[in-house]
Amino acid sequence: MTETPECAAVRELIPELAAGVAAGDERARALRHVATCTDCNRELDAAAFVVDELLPLAPAVEPPPGFEVGVLAALNPPRRRWPRLLRLAAAILVAMALGGVGVWQATADDRRVADSYRRTLEAANGRYMTAKTFTAPDGSTAGRIFAYQGAPSWIFITVKYGTTAGPYTVRLSTRDGGFQTLGTITVQSGSGAWGRMIDVPVSRIAQVSLTGADDMPCLSADFGPPRST
Partner 1 sequence: MASGDAEAAAAFVRRFQARVFGLALSVVGDTGLAEEVAQEAFVRVWRHAATYDPRRGRVATWLLTITRNLAVDAIRLNHKHRSDPESLLRAMYAAPAEDPFETGPYGSDQLRAGLRALPLEQSRPIVMSVFYGLTAKEIADREGIPLGTVKTRIRRGLARLRQELGVTDD
> 107 vs 181, which CB is nearer to partner 1?
181
Q: How far is the CB of 12 from partner 1 (least distance, A)?
A: 6
**193 closest CA partner among 79, 87, 112:** 79
**204 closest CA partner among 229, 176, 179:** 176
Residues facing residue 197 across a β-bridge: 154
62 makes contact with partner 1 (CB under 8 A): yes
Sequence-separated (6 or more) residues with CB below 8 Å from residue 135? 141, 142, 219, 220, 221, 222
CA torsion 197→198→203→205, rounded to 10°?
Answer: -120
Hey, CA dihedral for 83, 96, 183, 209, is it positive or negative? positive
In this chain, which stretch among 59-67, 156-164, 171-179, 217-225 interacts with partner 1, using CB under 8 A?
Answer: 59-67
Distance between CA 130 and CA 203 in Å, rounded?
Answer: 10
Distance between CA 226 and CA 26 in Å, rounded?
Answer: 50
Contact 179, 171 (CB under 8 A): yes
Q: How far is the CB of 49 from partner 1 (least distance, A)?
A: 6
**220 closest CA partner among 210, 206, 212, 205:** 210
Contact 163, 142 (CB under 8 A): no
Out of 5, 24, 56, 225, name the contact with partner 1 by CB under 8 A: 56
97 makes contact with partner 1 (CB under 8 A): no
Q: How many helices (H) and strands (E) does the chain have?
A: 6, 8
Out of 10, 22, 142, 147, name the contact with partner 1 by CB under 8 A: 22
68 makes contact with partner 1 (CB under 8 A): yes
Looking at residues 34 to 53 of the shown chain, list those that interact with partner 1 (rule: CB under 8 A): 39, 42-43, 46-47, 49-53
Q: How far is the CB of 9 from partner 1 (least distance, A)?
A: 12
The 153-182 site mask, x for binding partner 1 (CB under 8 A), equals ---------------------------xx-
63 makes contact with partner 1 (CB under 8 A): yes
3 makes contact with partner 1 (CB under 8 A): no
In this chain, which stretch among 70-78, 125-133, 169-177, 215-223 interacts with partner 1, using CB under 8 A?
Answer: 70-78
In this chain, which stretch among 16-24, 106-114, 137-145, 153-161 interacts with partner 1, using CB under 8 A?
Answer: 16-24
Q: Which residues bind partner 1 (CB under 8 A)?
A: 12, 14-16, 18-23, 39, 42-43, 46-47, 49-64, 67-68, 70-72, 74-77, 180-181, 183
